[in-house]
Structure 1
Amino acid sequence: MEELKQRILAEGSVMSNDVLKLDAILNHQVDPQLIMRMGKEFADLYRTEGVTKVVTVESSGIPVAFTTAFELGVPLVFARRKKTLLADPDSLIERVPSFTKGIVTDIMLSRQFVTEQDRILFIDDIIANGDAARGMIRIIERSGATLLGVGIVIEKCFQSGAQAIRDQNIRLDSLVKITSLQDGQITFG
C-alpha cells in the first residue's frame, strides 16, 4: 500500500533499530479515510474465503479490524487485555508478552462470540516478535473455529513474528513490509 508507506515516512518516528512509533497513524490517532482503505485492502484479499468473523486484540488493531469487518459485512470480535467485572468467566485466555510495552498480559476472548462454526480472519496493526499474534492464534484454535488467515498492517520483517506464523502454514498478508530501521532510516521490502 503505497499511500501507507508515504504516511509512515512522513509521520512515523524511528525510536531504535527495533521500534517504530506510529502514534499519528495507528496507535494514538487514526485517519478514518486511510483506515477505511486499509480495511478494504484486507477485505478484498479475503472476500471469497467465507469469513464469518474478524478478530483482533485491543486496542490498536480495532480500527482496521472494524473497517475490514464492515467491508466484509461480518461481526468484529476483539480480545480484551484487562479483565473486568463483566468478563465472561469461561473466556479463552493466553498469557503473552508485549514487545513494545515490555510487559506480560493476558488476552481474553469470550467463547460466546467465537464458535467452531466460525471462519476467522485475524487482523492486527503491527507484527514484531509475534507473541500476541501467536497467543490469539492459540485462542482461535482452542475455540474450534477455522483460522483463514492473519492480516497485518505493518510487518517488521527483521523480527521473527511473521515468519514464525508462516512457518506454521498459516496465511499471513501484510499491507506494508519494513525490512530495516537501522540508523533511523525506514526501509521497505
Structure 2
Amino acid sequence: MNILEKRILEEGRVLPGNVLKVDSFVNHKIDPAFFMKIAEEFKSRFSDLKIDKILTVEVSGIAIAFAVGLLMDKEIIFAKKSVSKTLGDDVYKSSVYSYTKGVTYDIMVSKNYLKKGDKVLVIDDFLANGKALEGIYDILEQAGAQVEATGILIEKGFQNGGNRLREKGYKIESLATIKSLENGKVEFENSLDF
C-alpha cells in the first residue's frame, strides 16, 4: 500500500453514486508536505521525458500541479472554467462534462500560454470517465502541442475512462487506482509502494 492509498482509506469517504470524497487532503484542505511527497513520485515517473510545461484544470488540479512544477522546475498552466474580463477571447476552448457536478462547462487556456510544439505533462486530481482529460487533450491538439504523459492522483478504474484513453495511445500514470467503491468500501487495483 502506498501513502496515497493509506490516506484515502484513513480520510476518504464513499458517497452515494460512486463518489469518493477526499476533500480533507486533496480538494478542499491541502497538506503541503504530503503533496510534495506525491510530487516526488510523479517526478520520478516522468523524469525521463522532455517536458516544457505542465497543464491542469482549475481548481483541484492546481495544488498538485504546482508541487510537481516546483520539483521539475516547469511552469504550470491551468485551464480556466469561467470566463473573466482578463482572459479575453483569444483562447483554446473545449466543453467538458463533470460526473461529480452533473454539468457541462467550458475549459479555456489563453493562446499566449500554449504554443505549437510544446511538450506537455498533464496533471490532475481525478480520472473517472475521462471527460476532463478529453477536454485537455482537445485543447492541446488545437494548440499543436504534444501530450507527453498524464499524471493522475486518483483513478476510478471501474469507470473505464482511463482504459479508453490508454487505448487511444495516451500514457497515463495513476498513483492510486480504485477497483471498487461498492458497499462504501474502497478497494484498490495493483497497489505500488512509494
Structure-2-length-normalised TM-score: 0.95
| Equivalent residue, structure 1, for 2:103 | 103
| Equivalent residue, structure 1, for 2:50 | 50
- State the 1:88 CA deviation: 3.1
| Equivalent residue, structure 2, for 1:127 | 127
- State the 1:44 CA deviation: 1.4
Pairwise mapping of residues 28-67 of structure 1 onto structure 2 (< 5 A)?
Answer: 28-67=28-67
Whether the 8 Å CA contact 1:17–1:183 is kept in 2: the answer is no
Equivalent position SS for 1:179 = strand
Runs of 4+ in 1 over 6 A off after TM superposition: none
- State the 1:79 CA deviation: 0.4
| Equivalent residue, structure 1, for 2:81 | 81
- State the 1:17 CA deviation: 5.1
- State the 1:161 CA deviation: 1.1
Q: Deviations over 1:87-130 (max 9, x none)?
A: 13110000111010111110001111111131100000011111
Identity %: 37
CA RMSD of aligned residues (A): 1.0
What residue ranges of structure 2 are gaps of 5+ in the alignment? 190-194
Pairwise mapping of residues 1-189 of structure 1 onto structure 2 (< 5 A)?
Answer: 2-16=2-16, 18-189=18-189
CA, structure 1 residues 75+57, in 2 after alignment: closer, same or farther (shift >3 Å)? same
- State the 1:45 CA deviation: 1.2
Q: Which amino acid aligns with 1:82?
A: S
Equivalent position SS for 1:164 = helix
Moved more, 42-51 or 74-83: 42-51
Cα distance in structure 1, aligned partners of 2:97 and 2:146: 24
- State the 1:74 CA deviation: 0.8
Cα distance in structure 2, aligned partners of 1:40 and 1:51: 16
Q: Which amino acid aligns with 1:50?
A: K
Equivalent position SS for 2:29 = coil
Cα distance in structure 1, aligned partners of 2:6 and 2:42: 19
Equivalent position SS for 2:94 = strand
Cα distance in structure 1, aligned partners of 2:113 and 2:44: 24
The total of aligned residue pairs comes to: 189
Whether the 8 Å CA contact 1:16–1:181 is kept in 2: the answer is no
Structure-1-length-normalised TM-score: 0.97
Equivalent position SS for 1:188 = strand
- State the 1:3 CA deviation: 0.9
What residue ranges of structure 1 are gaps of 5+ in the alignment? none
Cα distance in structure 1, aligned partners of 2:71 and 2:80: 23
Q: Deviations over 1:71-97 (max 9, x none)?
A: 111100000000001113110000111
CA, structure 1 residues 101+17, in 2 after alignment: closer, same or farther (shift >3 Å)? closer
Equivalent position SS for 2:158 = coil
Whether the 8 Å CA contact 1:17–1:182 is kept in 2: the answer is no
- State the 1:41 CA deviation: 1.0
